[in-house]
Structure 1
């Protein structure tokens, strides 16, 4: 599904590591019967591994990301230090507070937006503080790492909010100075640019979904 942020994660890792791949987008409201052959739970993303014995498949974005990082170590994304890797995985998990609040804004009516935007800002405070403490442009250091790519899909989608909300929303440049600078760098990252959509396109899909129109083929 082209608009799924979790599938987006897998594409970012594949792009960052320059791994050749073929993508099949599916309609999540009318899932093809064959999907369960690759994803028993009917989830996306699902990654088929045709070069492995038995053609196995993996599901869950974080599992796929970690597998690819270990399978293709030439471009490492997770820190090599076990403790730092564990700490980054904890931060990815903590970002779930932002993702859940973000979905409320994207797919609910505008009356729910103020409280959800407050939740998002509180969640982002953690990452603003973390990036500041690291003293590097990216969470991964001088270049994006796994943490950067795992949280990016939701930052990319915030660009749609100016089309969805009565009052245009943007990150507070004073409160989130490090994250704003990080966001501006990430937009120009080759892996990000390879799967990028603008805010207006995301908003068009979100508006249609609010009206119970699931136009998964709008980009075809």
Structure 2
């Protein structure tokens, strides 16, 4: 593939943006990042995004009109197919299909986690917490290798789940521990992802404080549960 100049159009809190950023970083691809205020979407952004969502990836190639890719799955598949020599999927067709299925499962886990974080009453929080725990138990039964989902090789499944687990790394242990209690394999996987350089670099330094402010604005029950050391910008 000819050299392409890439621009990731993003929002600082979007987990789907993080997925694309992780893949870019895993592939060691230089890119520019532009954040958009999704509460006041600029006209130029709406003209580029058919669904009014992030991420977008602007691909600039010589002798070719600029192309805008939307939807994180399409962006990640393009990057995986065109950048770097190592794929984030298995070479085996059956294992590759299984990985893609678990990628979709990760979207459902993300939905439960996000709704739990943003819950404004105890009933909804309890329902979403239970749904999340159920899915994590399903993952616990699947995981039989380490440190990553498919063993020693970091995969697209890892890129999908890392932004989900990040939420719980930021929450007080009083909140996060009961969710991961008795799930040693998921907990070990979560820890390995938290230490991955691409995962750490996929968000900006003020991510914790931004998430806290978002929860405050949403009047979420967990608005006061973000760890103070991380909000203050201290290292883990």
Aligned match of 1:126: 138
Matches within 5 A, 1:114-153: 114-132=126-144, 135-153=145-163
1:158 counterpart residue number: 168
TM-score with structure 2 setting the length: 0.80
Residue 113 (1) aligns with residue 125 (2): yes
Q: What is residue 213 of structure 2 aligned with on the other side?
A: 205
**Alignment equivalent of 1:176, drawn from 183, 193, 199:** 183
Shift of 1:36: 2.9
Equivalent residue number for residue 67 of structure 1: 78
Give the Å deviation of 1:97.
2.7
Paired residues of 2:103 and 2:156 also in contact (CA < 8 A): no
Moved more, 85-94 or 14-23: 85-94
Q: How far did residue 168 of structure 1 move?
A: 2.5
More deviation, 75-84/196-205 = 196-205
Which ranges of structure 1 fall in alignment gaps of 5 or more residues?
213-217
Stretches of structure 2 lacking an aligned partner (at least 5 in a row)? 1-10, 221-230, 232-236
Higher strand share: 2
Q: Is the 8 A contact 1:9 1:149 kept in 2?
A: yes
Change (3 A) 1:12 1:170: same
Aligned to 1:100: 111
Query: 1:208: how far off?
Result: 3.1
Instruction: Specify the alignment match of 2:28 in structure 1.
Output: 18
> Does the Cα contact within 8 Å between 2:56 and 2:69 map onto a contact in 1?
yes
Contact residue 26 and residue 198 of structure 2 kept, 8 A: yes
Cα displacement (A) at 1:7: 0.6
| TM score, norm. by length of structure 1 | 0.85
Task: Give the RMSD, CA atoms, in angstroms.
Answer: 2.4
Count, aligned residues = 208
Kept after mapping to 1: 8 A contact 2:15/2:164: yes
**Runs of 4+ displaced beyond 4 Å:** 171-174, 196-200
Aligned equivalents of 2:76, 2:209: Cα separation in 1: 26
